[in-house]
């Protein structure tokens, strides 16, 4: 324990138990921290040594699973990437913004899952062929076209940062549209027309006001804001072809 005395922080955590609380409240814990700790380590210390009732999600502690998304001093962060040494001695931790709170730092993600599923985030082959015909091959250049968007870990930090999603809950959102763009750019995929029915709707890409906060908070540098603007351009070209140049095929 002596090593942990290097620094003492005050961890102010939003608490909410739907069975006993009428509204969320804050509870402060005094936590001894090592210099290399992240906020997730501090939460684990609270859970293990101070208050076993504290609820939050985490899994890998490696910024891979995307489970530990939360607000750290008002910013959407992965708790496993928010290093204690980057903050003052008072740190406020809250559940992700724009999502309903289930308990403490745990939010309901059903809305995101439904929207993600609606864009068909999987490969829809252009042509069916038997396994005996071999794999669908792709050149390095074709892979590079969409590889950046494959890095999304569905942490939903972009939704917590997106003011438009906060104002218009029907908005499809940055991660779902970026994932649709990922497959639309894949040379092996033929499902763009199916996805466009959702992506190019009013609640889809056109609801985006291009604040760019989604890309700023993305822990994997996916750049969902860039993906959304590319989708807007492609959807605009579709409209022009359909209404002003009907003789041009897609």
pLDDT digits (tens, 9 = 90+) for 46-100: 999 999 999 999 999 999 999 999 999 999 999 999 999 999 999 999 999 999 9
CATH architecture of 110-243: Orthogonal Bundle (1.10)
Model confidence pLDDT, tens digit, residues 123-162: 999 888 888 988 889 999 999 999 999 999 999 999 999 9
> Where is 174: in which H helix or E strand?
helix 174-184
Q: Assess contact for 165 and 98: CB atoms under 8 A.
A: yes
The DSSP 8-state label assigned to residue 2 in this structure reads: G
- The residue ranges of every structural domain in the chain are 2-107, 110-243
Domains 2-107 and 110-243 share a fold: no
Weakest-pLDDT range from 66-70, 167-171, 241-245: 241-245
Question: Domain 2-107 - what CATH class?
Answer: alpha beta
Least confident of 4-8, 142-146, 215-219: 4-8
More confident residue, 69 or 250: 69
Please give the model's pTM, rounded to 2 decimal places: 0.92
Give the C-alpha separation, 226 to 42, whole Å. Answer: 34
Between 6 and 159, the more confident residue is 159
> Helical H runs in 19-167?
39-45, 110-118, 140-144, 157-161, 163-167
Mean pLDDT of the chain: 94
Interaxial angle between packed helices 192-199 and 224-243, expressed in degrees from 0 to 180 and rounded to the nearest 10 = 100
């Amino acid at each position: 324990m002596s090593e942990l005395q290097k620094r003492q922080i005050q961890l102010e955590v939003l608490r909410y138990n739907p069975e006993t609380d009428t509204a969320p409240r804050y509870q402060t814990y005094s936590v001894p921290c090592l210099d290399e700790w992240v906020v997730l380590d501090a939460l684990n210390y609270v859970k293990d040594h101070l208050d076993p009732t504290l609820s939050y999600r985490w899994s890998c502690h490696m910024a891979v699973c995307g489970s530990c998304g939360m607000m750290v001093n008002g910013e959407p962060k992965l708790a496993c990437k928010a290093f204690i040494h980057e903050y003052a001695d008072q740190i406020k931790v809250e559940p992700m913004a724009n999502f309903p709170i289930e308990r403490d730092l745990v939010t309901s993600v059903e809305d995101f899952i439904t929207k993600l599923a609606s864009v068909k985030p999987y490969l829809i082959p252009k042509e069916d062929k038997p396994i005996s015909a071999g794999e669908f091959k792709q050149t390095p250049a074709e892979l590079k076209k969409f590889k950046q968007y494959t890095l999304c870990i569905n942490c939903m930090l972009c939704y917590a940062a997106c003011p438009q999603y906060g104002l218009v809950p029907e908005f499809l959102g940055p991660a779902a549209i970026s994932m649709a763009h990922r497959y639309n750019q894949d040379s092996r995929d033929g499902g763009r027309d199916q996805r466009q029915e959702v992506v190019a709707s009013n609640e889809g890409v056109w609801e985006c006001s291009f604040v760019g906060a989604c890309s700023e908070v993305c822990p994997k540098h996916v750049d969902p804001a860039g993906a959304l603007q590319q989708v807007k351009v492609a959807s605009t070209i579709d409209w022009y072809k359909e209404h002003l140049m009907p003789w041009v095929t897609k």
